[in-house]
């Protein structure tokens, strides 16, 4: 197995090396159209973009916004723009117009690359935010008809510094104004190489991922980790249960990049899987906690291990990961530190011993230098010594595995007692009729907060409020049993599939 390229320090240099050594090796596959790009195609695109950007006065280090649906063009332009020495700023396709207007103005974009359906949205966002930005409409399913086609590709790697910004990724902004996480070439390459090494990825590995490219998981895990290892990726426009397994088998994928929502839907329609999935080495689950029941049921049904992991935008998508076989995978934990240092601290920033709960702090070469144009938010997030305050609550066991019990801002405080929403979720997921569940705290005059849980039932399942409340009494006890149970068709989620509890509480 060939190890990831470790001698090169920028994305452009990695691409140039791949193109020189293995120009015909496939990298990007669009399953709906069958279009395939190899490393030479990407190198040529990056060189053309470099020339084209220069002709438009968009110099190296300038911000280029990307407002495209998943697919061939989005993945290719995401990677090739950074390799050409510009900063890519992916925009969330499900953001509200006010958020898009803010981000477009705040990120100082010199150009927006979008498709025909996104053009009007971007024009309104630019005008609303007061940003003067050029808009270029491209084909979401192709790169060979773009306006850069007439540009002569600049040969070799684009000059850049490892500490130059490569990616400007905005957080979801569910609790306020979105924050721009500035990640460098060095941040991204370190994170991608850590993932590739952890999962033992090589040139023969191919990932299937439908996670959106405007989320850090889709960027680093699904795109950059196969890129640094010389492997390849299958990038469908969207997740579909009916086509998922067909794509995995047809394109000979060796691993699957998933989130718990995808796992739940695949389990719910398990009969759509082919009789054998022998070519798949493992599945990876991150971006939200994976319920133990779903984890065990998925492995039993489909016959390959699921590696639970955890990341965050500010750490370029790596934090914790369970070991690959034959290492010990544990349900209910995102695993061991992956490429980072991690510790549990109390409210005063003092490190806590194993078993004690507190906030998770992180440190490593993948951690951002700060938020774009926000010294105050940067100071609040980064502690002395380069430690990142994650905002996650949890503890470490005696074997070094970390357990996440909730978010500081999502903690339910009922009558002075802290209750982790995830504990309520996991109890309800043990009920055979429940597909998804999310608990939140709502105002209460007697306790300060009471527990409300929103529940999505499995197709055809029959269950009422009284049955679920009785079930919770047995599983959780009276104090933690939700006062309110609401049946819903779907839970509000971010682009990675993570439940947006604060939005749920507002609703």
pTM of the model: 0.83
Q: Is there a contact between 125 and 97 (Cβ–Cβ < 8 Å)? A: yes
Q: Minimal CA–CA distance to 231: which of 258, 200, 259?
A: 200
d(CA 499, CA 493): 4
Distances (CA, A) of 112 to 39, 133, 135, 300, 316: 25, 7, 5, 45, 23
- Residue 101 C-beta-side C-alpha neighbours within 13 Å: 11
Please check whether residue 118 is in contact with residue 67, taking contact to mean a CB–CB distance below 8 angstroms: yes
Distance CA 67, CA 70 (A): 10
CB atoms within 10 A of CB 448: 14
Q: Say if CB 103 and CB 170 are below 8 A apart.
A: yes
* Measured distance CA(170)–CA(73) in Å, rounded: 21
Cα-based distances in Å from 104 to 89, 169, 272, 312: 9, 12, 41, 22
Contact present, 419 and 450 (Cβ < 8 Å): no
Burial 130-153 (b: 16+ CB within 10 A, else e): ebebebbbbebbebeebebeebeb
Beta carbons of 212 and 218 less than 8 angstroms apart: yes
Distance CA 11, CA 82 (A): 7
CA-CA distance, 474 to 481, in Å (whole number)? Answer: 9
Q: What is the pLDDT of residue 4?
A: 45
Angle at 173 between CA 168 and CA 178, to 5 degrees: 40
pLDDT of residue 264: 87
Length of the chain, in residues: 507
Q: Nearest-CA neighbor of 366 among 235, 219, 158?
A: 219
Query: Residue 7: its pLDDT value, please?
Result: 52
Chunk the chain into consecutive blocks of 10 residues (it has 507) and report each block's average pLDDT, rounded to whole numbers.
55 95 97 96 96 95 96 97 97 84 93 95 87 90 91 82 96 68 97 97 97 93 98 96 95 95 89 88 90 91 95 95 96 94 94 95 96 94 94 94 83 72 88 92 77 92 92 88 93 78 76
Residue 461: the pLDDT is 87
Q: How far is CA 300 from CA 264, 294, 428, in A?
A: 14, 10, 21
Beta strands 320-321 and 336-337 are: antiparallel
- Give the span between the Cα atoms of 137 and 353, in whole angstroms: 55
Q: Is 319 exposed, middle or buried (0-12, 13-18, 19+ CB in 10 A)?
A: buried
List beta partners, residue 87. Answer: 63
DSSP 31-83: TTTTEEEEHHHHHHHHHHHHHHHHHTT--TT-EEEEE--SSHHHHHHHHHHHH
3-state helix, strand, coil in the chain (%, to 5): 35, 25, 40
| 8 Å CB contact between 14 and 5 | yes
Could you tell me the residue ranges of all domains in the chain?
11-237, 411-506
The backbone region for 465, taken as left when phi is positive above 0, alpha when psi lies in -120 to 50, beta otherwise, is alpha
- Which tokens hold the place of 264? 């739940």
* Structure tokens given for 54: 């220069």
| Residue 258, C-beta contacts closer than 8 angstroms, at least 6 positions apart | 266, 283, 284, 285, 306
CA distance 392 to 138: 39
Q: Look up the CATH superfamily of 411-506.
A: ANL, C-terminal domain (3.30.300.30)
Radius of gyration in angstroms for the set of CA atoms belonging to the chain, rounded to a whole number: 23
Domain 11-237, CATH: 3.40.50.980
Give the span between the Cα atoms of 497 and 479, in whole angstroms.
Answer: 29
Provide the β-strand partners of residue 387: 383
């Amino acid at each position: 197995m060939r190890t990831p390229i470790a001698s090169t320090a920028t994305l452009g240099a990695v691409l140039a090396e791949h193109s020189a050594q293995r120009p015909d090796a496939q990298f990007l596959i669009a399953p709906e159209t069958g279009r395939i790009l190899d490393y030479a195609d990407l190198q040529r695109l990056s060189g053309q973009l470099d020339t084209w950007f220069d002709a438009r006065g968009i110099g190296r280090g300038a911000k280029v916004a990307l407002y495209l649906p998943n697919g061939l063009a989005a993945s290719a332009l995401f990677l090739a723009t950074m390799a050409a020495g510009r900063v890519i700023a992916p925009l969330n396709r499900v953001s509200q117009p006010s958020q898009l207007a803010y981000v477009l103005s705040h990120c100082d974009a010199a150009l927006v690359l979008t498709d025909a359906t996104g053009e009007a949205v971007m024009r309104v966002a630019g005008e609303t935010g007061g940003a003067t930005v050029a808009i270029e409409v491209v084909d979401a399913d192709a790169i060979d008809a773009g306006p850069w086609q007439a540009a002569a590709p600049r040969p070799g790697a684009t000059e850049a510094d490892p500490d130059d910004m490569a990616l400007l990724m905005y957080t979801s902004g569910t609790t306020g104004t979105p924050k721009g996480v500035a990640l460098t070439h060095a941040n991204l390459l370190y994170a991608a190489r850590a993932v590739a090494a952890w999962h033992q990825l090589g040139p023969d590995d191919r990932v299937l991922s439908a996670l959106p490219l405007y989320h850090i998981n889709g960027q680093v895990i699904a795109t950059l980790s196969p890129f640094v290892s010389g492997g390849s990726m299958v990038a469908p426009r969207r997740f579909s249960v009916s086509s998922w397994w067909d794509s995995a088998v047809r394109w000979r994928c060796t691993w699957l990049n998933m989130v718990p929502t995808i796992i739940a839907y695949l389990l719910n329609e398990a009969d759509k899987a082919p009789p054998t999935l022998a070519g798949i080495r493992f599945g990876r689950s991150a971006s939200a906690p994976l319920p133990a029941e779903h984890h065990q049921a998925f492995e039993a049904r489909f016959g390959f291990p699921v590696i639970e992991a955890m990341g965050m935008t500010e750490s370029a998508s790596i934090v914790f990961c369970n070991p690959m076989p034959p290492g010990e995978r544990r349900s209910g934990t995102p695993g061991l530190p992956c490429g980072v240092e991690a510790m549990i601290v109390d409210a005063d920033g003092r490190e806590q011993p194993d078993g004690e709960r507190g906030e998770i702090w992180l440190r490593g070469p993948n951690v951002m230098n700060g938020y774009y144009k926000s010294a105050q938010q940067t100071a609040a997030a980064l502690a002395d010594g380069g430690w990142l305050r994650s905002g996650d609550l949890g503890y470490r066991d005696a074997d070094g595995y970390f357990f996440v019990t909730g978010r500081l801002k999502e903690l339910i405080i009922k009558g002075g007692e802290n209750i982790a929403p995830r504990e309520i979720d996991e109890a309800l997921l043990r009920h055979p009729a429940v597909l998804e569940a999310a608990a939140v705290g709502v105002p209460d005059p007697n306790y300060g907060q009471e527990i409300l849980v929103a529940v999505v039932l499995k197709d055809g399942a029959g269950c009422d409020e009284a049955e679920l409340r009785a079930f919770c009494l047995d599983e959780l006890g009276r104090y933690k049993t939700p006062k309110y149970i609401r049946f819903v068709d779907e839970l509000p989620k971010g682009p990675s599939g993570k439940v947006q509890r604060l939005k749920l509480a507002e609703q």
